[in-house]
Amino acid sequence: MESTTICAIATGQGGAIGIIRISGPNAITYTDKIFRPSRKGKSLADANPFTLTYGQIVDTEEKTIDDVLISVFHAPHSYTGENAIEISCHNSPYILQQIMHQLIDVGCQLAAPGEYTQRAFLNGKMDLSQAEAVADVIASTTASAHRLAINQLRNGFSKDFKLLRDKLLKISSLMELELDFSDHEELEFADRSELINLLHDIENKISKLADSFHYGNAIKKGIPVAIIGETNVGKSTLLNTLLGEEKAIVSDIQGTTRDIIEDTFNINGYLFRFIDTAGIRDTDNTIEKIGIERTYKKMTEASIILWIVDAAEILKSKSLPILKKLEEYNNILLVCNKYDLVEKSEKNILNSILAESKYAHICISAKDGSNIEQLKQMLLSLANIHPVDDNEYTVTNIRQYNSLKSALQCAERTEDGLKNNLPTDLVSEDLRECLQHLGEIIGTVTSADILHNIFSHFCVGK
């Protein structure tokens, strides 16, 4: 079935220039119908690829809609692998819509979300993991998330995985051939030792990539930091200070925060996701109890726990408060708040009490911002993150992660089967399943439902 020709606005509102993308077998022909080049007699069909042509887009009455520049791309040397056109015009919503109307009138169809990148995948311009990286590049909000997405887009692990999968496929084919000669049990076409070595290699690579998901997902979505403590110790004030806005309600009334409040903040190019939780205390209030239960749940999900304590309360009791379940966690930074209210003569006493705890600690004032910058640096240190190398690949995609885990389980079962001399048909079944999951990662094995789910989350025009 012949591919349709699609069009979409590729730029958002704001800025001086708007771009409309056209892709498909008739991209050049359709655009020629509404374009009048400034050099008479020179149509887009005659233009050399990768060139710009100046002229006007006109309506059905030959009235000029806008002066434009047309970029011409010939298949297969375009983003989608098809004939493609990009129209650069003034970024007026009216002008963009008028040009779109003209393109649709001559035969173009509106592009669906992600359809350009889906066509690039289907036409072999990129594999599925690279296609998913396109969305990550667009969505990246920090330098680290951008670098991870760029690394994946530039091939990531695709090349290595394709090579390993090809080798595995060759051995699998030989094992399938053995099944065709099952009457001759002595025949063995596939070298078992070679297969075991190959499986070792695959298992090592898969394990390394799967283990990177926790780190990669944190970089992409933000390193989760739970702000916990008793009521009225300044948790919400600290969140507001870190974010630079009044995100959480601050009040002297105990139990003000009863639900989870989340927001993100960029520290030195890394995204942190701060989670303000309900104050922990004994209460008979049903709603507040639910909030406290959610606090403990968020503690299990957090990479870092900021345990906020009140300096005055510590000096009064001469000890740290005891919070139920806190001893279960190691990723804790003790933050002594309201340090600005401590008398100079009492600061040494306070520091001695804090030093007796097993946790890293810092004294701050969330209200006036004292030592907030030092707190940020401690968060960077506790997150144990490192600069993303240009050649490093880290998994940030849950679909890829699930396929990696499934492929690893199948590879391990295949190896166990070989070592235990299981029948060839059973080993082959595990091997086929391993190949299936490896193929899902890079898109050599996929389905229409999976593709729709992936590309439907892209923006229109990409």
Residue 16 lies in a domain: yes
Q: For the chain, report the end-to-end CA distance as a whole number of angstroms.
A: 23
pLDDT tens digit sequence for 189-233: 556 777 788 888 888 888 888 888 878 888 888 888 888 888 788
pLDDT tens digit sequence for 425-443: 788 888 888 888 888 877 7
pLDDT tens digit sequence for 22-60: 999 999 999 999 999 998 777 898 889 999 999 999 999
Per-residue pLDDT, 134: 86
Residue 162 lies in a domain: no
Residue-wise DSSP of 247-303: -S---SSTT---S-EEEEEEETTEEEEEEE-PPP-----HHHHHHHHHHHHHHHH-S
Q: The pTM is what? A: 0.69
Asked if residue 223 and residue 102 are part of one domain, the reply reads no
Residue 100 lies in a domain: yes
Residue 157 lies in a domain: no
Asked if residue 100 and residue 223 are part of one domain, the reply reads no
Asked if residue 225 and residue 341 are part of one domain, the reply reads yes
Asked if residue 238 and residue 98 are part of one domain, the reply reads no
DSSP symbol at 112:
P
Round to whole Å and give the CA distance between 134 and 10: 14
Round to whole Å and give the CA distance between 158 and 440: 12
Asked if residue 255 and residue 107 are part of one domain, the reply reads no
Q: Which of 62, 84, 111 is the last residue of a domain?
A: 111
Q: Which of 111, 141, 169 is the last residue of a domain?
A: 111
Residue 455 lies in a domain: no
Say how many domains are in the chain: 2
Asked if residue 345 and residue 226 are part of one domain, the reply reads yes
Query: Residue 289 — pLDDT band, cuts 50, 70, 90?
Result: low
Greatest mean pLDDT range, 108-122, 141-155, 175-189, 291-305: 108-122
CATH number at residue 325: 3.40.50.300
Residue 226 lies in a domain: yes
- Cα angle vertex 250, ends 225, 322, to 5°? 55
Per-residue pLDDT, 387: 67
Asked if residue 362 and residue 244 are part of one domain, the reply reads yes
Q: Which of 434, 427, 426 is nearest to 408 (CA)?
A: 434
Report the DSSP beta bridge partners of residue 333.
306, 360
**What is the residue range of 373's domain?**
218-383
The burial class, CB within 10 Å (0-12 / 13-18 / 19+), for 424 is buried
Residue 341 lies in a domain: yes
CATH number at residue 82: 3.30.1360.120
Tokens of 352: 């001695």
Residue 441 lies in a domain: no
Residue 378, Ramachandran bin (φ over 0: left; ψ between -120 and 50: alpha; else beta): alpha
pLDDT tens digit sequence for 208-218: 888 888 788 88
pLDDT tens digit sequence for 401-430: 898 899 899 988 888 888 888 877 788 888
Q: Which of 332, 363, 383 is the last residue of a domain?
A: 383
Q: Which of 330, 432, 385 is nearest to 218 (CA)?
A: 385
Sheet containing strand 270-276, strands side by side: 261-267, 270-276, 223-229, 304-310, 332-337, 360-363
